[in-house]
Amino acid sequence: MVMYEGFGERLREFAKSEFKNVNGLISATGIPQAQMSRYINEKEEPGKKIFEKLLAAGCDINWLLGGGEYKKQDDTGMSMTINNSNNEVVEQPDNKIYKDQIELLKENNKLLQEKIERLEQKS
């Protein structure tokens, strides 16, 4: 039994809203179908690796675990509040996970750029 009441229903709702169906979420995350079924039917509780996969797929983990409002993320994984009158960012959460991900992406981008430059120099 899952300790988060309604978890399975919210997981199914996320799959339908973002991936059309559960199979789409399975394809996007690589979570095996039998395992996903156990989560949706609240027979088993996901661990850290599964939550990381769901987060990477754009799921609001706080909503998934506790309900309430669903916050959809943009393509970068960031949630933000926009002032509708002039499309100015009014609020952007201070979230260490997102900042760490952005820093990692910047570092990877820098390493790739250096590798490209070395390959260009060789040719």
Q: Which tens digit of pLDDT belongs to each residue from 23-77?
A: 999 999 999 999 999 999 999 988 899 999 999 998 888 888 886 665 565 555 5
22 pLDDT band, cuts 50/70/90, is: very high
Higher confidence at residue 97 or residue 123?
Answer: 123
E-only strand ranges, the chain:
81-83, 88-91
Question: Which tokens sit at 58?
Answer: 């754009």
Q: How far apart, in Å, are the Cα atoms of 21 and each of 12, 13, 17, 18, 28?
A: 8, 9, 8, 8, 11
Q: What are phi and psi of 89, to 5 degrees?
A: -70, 120
- What number of other Cβ atoms are within 10 A of residue 22's Cβ? 19
Read off the DSSP letter of residue 60: -
pLDDT of residue 11: 94
From CA 73, how far away is CA 92, in angstroms rounded? Answer: 12
Classified as helix, coil or strand, 83 is: strand
Residue reference for tokens 């669903």:
70
112 pLDDT band, cuts 50/70/90, is: confident
